[in-house]
Amino acid sequence: MIPFEYLRAGDPAEAVAAVAERPGAVFLGGGTNLVDHMKLGVAEPDMLVDVSRLPLDRVEETATGLRVGAAVRNSDLAAHPLVRERCPMLARALLSGASGQLRNAATTAGNLLQRTRCPYFQDVTTPCNKREPGSGCSAIGGYTRYHAILGASEQCVAVHPSDMAVAMVALDAVVIVLGPGGERALPLADLYRLPGDTPQRDTVLEHGELVTAVELPDLPFARRSAYRKVRDRTSYSFALVSVAAALDLDGGTVRDVRLALGGVAHKPWRAVLAEEELRGKPATEDAFRRAADAELAAARPLPGNEFKVPMARNTIVATLRDLTEEGR
Amino acid sequence: MTVQDRVVGTPSPRVDGRAKVTGIAAYAYDRPVDDPVYAHPLQATIARGRVAAIDDVAAAGVKGVLAVVTHRDAARLADTEDAELSVLQSDEVAFRGQFIGVVLAETPEIARHAAGLVRVEYDEEPHDTELRADRTDLYAPEQVNGGFATDTDEGDVDAAMAAAAVTVDEIYTTPMEHNNPMEPHSTVAIWNPGGGFPEAPRLTLFDSTQSVHSVRSTLARVFGLRPEQVRVVSPYVGGGFGSKGMAHAHNVLAVLAARAVAGRPVKLALTRHQMFSLAGHRTPTIQRVRLGADEAGRMTAVAHEAVEHTSKIKEFAEQTAVGTRMMYAAPNRRTSHRVAALDVPVPSWMRAPGEAPGFFGLEVAMDELAAACGLDPIELRARNDPRSDPESGRPWSGRHLVRCLREGAARFGWEDRPVVPGTRRRGRELVGMGVASSTYPYYRFPGSRAVVAYGGRGRYTVRIGAADIGTGAWTVLTQIAADALGCPLGAVSVEIGDSGLPSATVAGGSSGTTSWGSTIVAACRSFRRVYGDDPPPGAEAGDDMPENPDAERYSMHSFGAQFAEVRVDADTGEIRVPRMLGVFSVGRVINPRTARSQFIGGMTMGLSMALLERSVLDHRTGHVINHDFAEYLIATNADVMDVDAVWLDEEDVHAGPLGARGIGEIGIVGAAAAIANAVHNATGIRVRDLPITPDLLLR
Amino acid sequence: MDARITLRVDGRDRSLTVDTRTTLLDALRDHLSVTSPKKGCDHGQCGACTVLLDGRRVVSCLTFAVAHDGADVTTAEGLAEGGEPHPVQRAFLEQDGFQCGFCTPGQICSAVGMLEEVKAGHPSHVTDDLTGPVTLDDEEIRERLSGNLCRCGAYVNIVAALREEADS
């Protein structure tokens, strides 16, 4: 770890200015991912601008939904009464991630922007295009149990590790970003990128842009929603696959649905094709399976993670089935 | 003659408990020292070849860096026969992750930063880390760990298999695994240039070890010192499970570093990542198990042939199939071990080396044989329970396997087990039960000595350089001494964990209580013989571990029955283990509280082995790529539900003055097989390769 | 780069100069000789370094000390006021909730922090009804303490120790 300067920012604008003007500067939130990476040599900032104490630590009710401050800790967001009541899948996703201690430290924005847990990305003695563009992808031909089956490229097969982001993508969350040029809002789904030829870029954010809030538009039927995470270990581990789902039933028919997958791609994967397939269809296991198959038709598993395709299919079906039964 | 029980057999609380729950117990790295120097190792990033060039100019130039020690300038060792310990003695690289240097600095931050600035060039040679059963270079080692014969062959297994009415012939595999004690291997080393016995030791180590005396003798040899010139102190040890049973390369590296900054204490703690290449591991195994039986399930043949790996620089051949030799009656028996020497880190002891992986193969095969015979798995084992040791012909000192199985069946509700696999559902889950046998040999290692001293006012001190790595040894030895002296528990202080104390053997092989305990009994008796019941203050007497002639006359093993219930999610394949029960026959239990913790701790590690643990060697690079706790999964609290252990109320009159056989390892043996057998019972899917993960059970 | 900070550790104000790179864990251990928080992995993957930071349980290895100037830190040692074990520590002793003891200070800080979270009504991954009250049954205890690995396998006894606390 190289020596670095530490600055506790007084307000968001100061933080943005401090980082924007210095190529080696980064924002420090809860630190649970960044400090880890600095120890591993994956990240080598020469300045940390601490944004964890900025007044961005509130969950507020707005006319259109909820506004979650970027510095709200994961545990506080999961425990927030409005989140538990209105979007249980988000509370569930948060609570399935990491551990109690880490959720107490990790922030909303930090969770969104956490980087892949690909073991080759984290091991600086192995080539990795995301860490060192052009050096090659070690995961291809290597240990792929936790790698992508959708949307990967020849350059990178890493997955995004967040649970929270999967639920937020399903909820059509909007990210508020403050940059040197002012504020902008973009759908969370558009924040993330697929790896393509530039896997070093996880998101579309520019250097110096600070996520200040996440807006969750009100989605009444998300009151009945679920997050199902399948993992090797019962707790404190990353997803093999996960499913965030909300189901709006009209009798036995699917009026509307939100579906997103985790552990399968470089970004939280909104299952648009499955949603389209399901709308207006009967809420039956057959229909759920057809919807899952529609989404997973594009899956290109790697040697070593072929199981993720049936696992994702079964988990989608099981999650939607449980929601349907809950609705009866 | 056994000692009079008064506190032996009672659940005395741990004497070290308060220090541990309040956090004031000082482990090796916690030891306060003046003016410490921090060490950060450099590791090879190739698996085989030579270090061609090291550029440490930038590193050495960082303010606060005291030295960069590499093979170019490290002190020459007096003894380099043990290649694992021949640290920084040449430019050769024998496995990825091997030490190639160490940076010493005023702070750990500076040391780590500077280590990252060192540039190393290599002449890389092709490496080979892949174990396969069809390798042409497999060889038969001279013997396997524990001093056992590599192969045994009695009768004609092939003919018996051909003639058997019912047969099982399958391949079982277990992966490379890592001990991963919670406390990383840590050493604080002080090289005192002017020091020499008796004034002050030349070398002092605050170390995390299962044997202070073994580390002392090894380092003395390696550095050309007399043992008396070396002192190793290790009162608290944060787990070891075999990986701290002997000196490893980091001890040597720390001493080389201490020599480079003579007089100043050097602090070295391996990182979790480094532990995956430098602190031993369990070899992967490929086991072919063949069982033959008649229609009634009486076994006619048992063969267990194991293939495993070792490192090219040092042989460690695990005794995977040895437990099979004495387990079941069958006139035709064969076991063998074949080893591939690879460019991998040095394997070593990990809790129940041999039995833990070996009984996965054997006991899953037994389950398959029971199914093939249409017999209850417990009945199959009962029908093949040998009346004497089938290998040696000796009588058992006490073989109560069938009692354990029957007792466990009654307690566990075994009669409720679904007869047809894959037929019982509870909601969206498939449920089932499994059983497996467990065993572990009685070991008692010679070489311990204890000294009893009377301090006046009714207080005794018992000194022995033993180790409590979480086993409860400290407490149990205090109980033993109190009874042997015939005084209250509170009147005895036991001092352990210092090579300045009388010599003690390793905390390994589940031998601590039997070896050190019987030594303490002998010392206490000697003390009473000399001084009677009213000794003068300052009185002191000692003794060595007594011989146990019965150890040659009887076949002495502990036994157990492992039961598991599993639930498998029919959609996702996720596996839960709602219940485990172990019933053990281990001779006398000295402390039911710490014994139960040992048993359920071993079973918990067995659960972890069954479902989670796997070190993934990337054969392209030659290193374990999942080298941290986020990727090398061990059981969390949530994975472990109702795990319980009970034991037969007994005493092994042939097991020395304590009547005890040792309990530290048997808890892991058979646990993974019981879970695998339960998974089969629940799903109808037979998994023969560990770990059993959800993807293997997907439909 | 150095920074001067003050931490209140186990009830005592401590001023120290740290490298900005010094983690809270290393500040406690190497600078202040407060060694009850342990370094088991240094990457937030084991929980042995858990302390109560301003009352909340966190892993002290994944945060820099410089970011916590003025903070209040309680370690397992500090929970034992005047050397008298905290009720959770006593429960660990009674139930033999540890073996080697290395993960134990972290387990205990985590347990104390967890009990506060339950008191505040925080749900967990295994809470059936997200909007109802939380009952601390065994399954809840296990899930909530899963951020603290124990290689000796003392989990069953740790849960028993916390069950006592949950009942009282």
Residue B173 sits in the same domain as residue B233: no
Of B112, B623, B699, the CB nearest to A1: B112
What pLDDT digit, counting tens, does each position of A30-86 carry?
999 999 999 999 999 999 999 999 999 999 999 999 999 999 999 999 999 999 999
Q: Which structure tokens are listed for A317?
A: 């079906």
Query: Residue B618's closest chain A neighbor by CA?
Result: A142
Is A204 in the C-facing interface, judged by CB distances under 8 Å?
no
Q: How confident is the model at residue B3 (pLDDT cuts 50, 70, 90)?
A: low
What pLDDT digit, counting tens, does each position of B112-140 carry?
999 999 999 999 999 999 999 999 999 99
Model pLDDT, residue C165: 81
Residues of B in contact with A2 (CB under 8 A): 113, 116
User: Does residue B4 lie in a domain region?
Assistant: no
Q: What is the DSSP string of A110-122?
A: HHHTPPP--TTTT
Of C39, C43, C85, the CB nearest to B21: C85
Is C164 in the B-facing interface, judged by CB distances under 8 Å?
no
Residue B482 sits in the same domain as residue B502: yes
Cβ separation of A48 and C20 shorter than 8 Å?
Answer: yes
Cβ separation of B21 and C75 shorter than 8 Å?
Answer: no
Helix H or strand E encompassing B41: strand B37-43
> Whole-number mean pLDDT of chain A?
98
Residues of B in contact with C146 (CB under 8 A): 636-638
Q: Which structure tokens are listed for A257?
A: 């649905």
With contact defined as beta carbons under 8 Å apart, do B146 and B318 qualify? Answer: no
Which positions of B are annotated as active-site residues?
Answer: 665
Residue A270 has pLDDT above 70, yes or no: yes
User: Does residue B12 lie in a domain region?
Assistant: no
Q: How confident is the model at residue A326 (pLDDT cuts 50, 70, 90)?
A: confident
Model pLDDT, residue A126: 98
Cβ separation of B24 and C36 shorter than 8 Å?
Answer: yes
Is C155 in the A-facing interface, judged by CB distances under 8 Å?
no
ipTM exceeding cut-off 0.85 for this assembly: yes
User: Does residue B60 lie in a domain region?
Assistant: yes
Cβ separation of C147 and A88 shorter than 8 Å?
Answer: no
Is C35 in the B-facing interface, judged by CB distances under 8 Å?
yes
Handedness of CA B506, B510, B515, B516 (dihedral sign): positive
Residue B289 sits in the same domain as residue B253: no
Helix ranges (H only) for chain A are: 12-20, 34-40, 74-79, 81-86, 88-95, 100-105, 108-112, 164-170, 188-191, 272-278, 285-296, 308-327
- Is the link from the previous residue into B198 a cis peptide, with omega within 30 of 0? yes
User: Does residue B632 lie in a domain region?
Assistant: yes
Query: For tokens 């006398």, what's the residue?
Result: B588
Domain segments of chain A as ranges = 5-49, 226-327
Query: For tokens 């389950």, what's the residue?
Result: B367
Residue B202 sits in the same domain as residue B312: no
User: Does residue B387 lie in a domain region?
Assistant: yes
Residue B356 and residue B361: Cα distance in Å, rounded? 9
User: Does residue B137 lie in a domain region?
Assistant: no
Residue B680 has pLDDT above 70, yes or no: yes
Model pLDDT, residue A221: 97
Nearest Cα to C96, choosing from C146, C164, C37? C164
The residue out of B547, B563, B583 marking a domain boundary is: B547
Of B109, B635, B637, the CB nearest to C158: B637
Query: Residue A242's closest chain B neighbor by CA?
Result: B572
Number of domains present in the structure of chain B: 3
Residues of C in contact with B640 (CB under 8 A): 142, 153, 155-156
User: Does residue B87 lie in a domain region?
Assistant: yes
Residue B307 has pLDDT above 70, yes or no: yes
Residue B114: give the domain boundaries.
31-126+183-238+245-278
pLDDT average, residue stretch B315-326: 98
pLDDT average, residue stretch B544-560: 96
Residue B607 sits in the same domain as residue B506: no
Residues of C in contact with B272 (CB under 8 A): 40-43, 45-46
User: Does residue B6 lie in a domain region?
Assistant: no
Residue B669 and residue B327: Cα distance in Å, rounded? 13
Q: How confident is the model at residue A275 (pLDDT cuts 50, 70, 90)?
A: very high
Q: How confident is the model at residue A328 (pLDDT cuts 50, 70, 90)?
A: confident
User: A residues 127-156 near B, CB within 8 Å?
Assistant: 138, 141-143
Residue B291 and residue A133: Cα distance in Å, rounded? 54
Residue B699 and residue A310: Cα distance in Å, rounded? 8
Residue B380 sits in the same domain as residue B334: yes
Please tell me whether residue A67 adopts helix, strand or coil conformation.
strand
Of C64, C117, C130, the CB nearest to A88: C130
Cβ separation of A8 and C19 shorter than 8 Å?
Answer: no
Domains of chain C: 2-79 (3.10.20.30), 81-167 (1.10.150.120)
Is B119 in the A-facing interface, judged by CB distances under 8 Å?
no
Residue B78 sits in the same domain as residue B200: yes
- Is the link from the previous residue into B284 a cis peptide, with omega within 30 of 0? no
Model pLDDT, residue B494: 98
Cβ separation of B694 and A311 shorter than 8 Å?
Answer: yes
Lowest mean pLDDT among B191-195, B645-649, C9-13, C142-146: B191-195
What pLDDT digit, counting tens, does each position of A91-136 carry?
999 999 999 999 999 999 999 999 999 999 999 999 999 999 999 9
Residues of B in contact with A230 (CB under 8 A): 572-574, 694
Cβ separation of B612 and A232 shorter than 8 Å?
Answer: yes
Question: Which residues, given as ranges, of chain C have pLDDT below 50?
Answer: none
Is B694 in the A-facing interface, judged by CB distances under 8 Å?
yes
Q: Can you give the CATH number for the domain in which B541 is found?
A: 3.30.365.10
Helix ranges (H only) for B561-670 are: 592-611
Residue B430 sits in the same domain as residue B473: no
Residue B369 and residue B301: Cα distance in Å, rounded? 12
Residue B64 sits in the same domain as residue B106: yes
What pLDDT digit, counting tens, does each position of A174-213 carry?
999 999 999 999 999 999 999 999 999 999 999 999 999 9
Cβ separation of A28 and C56 shorter than 8 Å?
Answer: no
Is C103 in the B-facing interface, judged by CB distances under 8 Å?
yes
The residue out of B488, B522, B547 marking a domain boundary is: B547
What pLDDT digit, counting tens, does each position of B441-497 carry?
999 999 999 999 999 999 999 999 999 999 999 999 999 999 999 999 999 999 999
The correct CATH number of A226-327 out of 3.30.1310.10, 1.10.1740.10, 3.30.390.50, 3.40.50.1110 is: 3.30.390.50
With contact defined as beta carbons under 8 Å apart, do B183 and B320 qualify? Answer: no
> Whole-number mean pLDDT of chain B?
97
Residue B331 sits in the same domain as residue B420: yes
Is B298 exposed, middle or buried, given 0-12, 13-18 or 19+ CB atoms closer than 10 A?
A: middle
Cβ separation of A142 and B109 shorter than 8 Å?
Answer: no
Model pLDDT, residue B1: 39
At position B430, the amino acid (one-letter code) is L
Of A39, A85, A99, the CB nearest to C146: A99
Cβ separation of B694 and A2 shorter than 8 Å?
Answer: no
Of A4, A30, A98, the CB nearest to C20: A4
Residue B670 and residue B438: Cα distance in Å, rounded? 5
Residue B541 sits in the same domain as residue B577: no
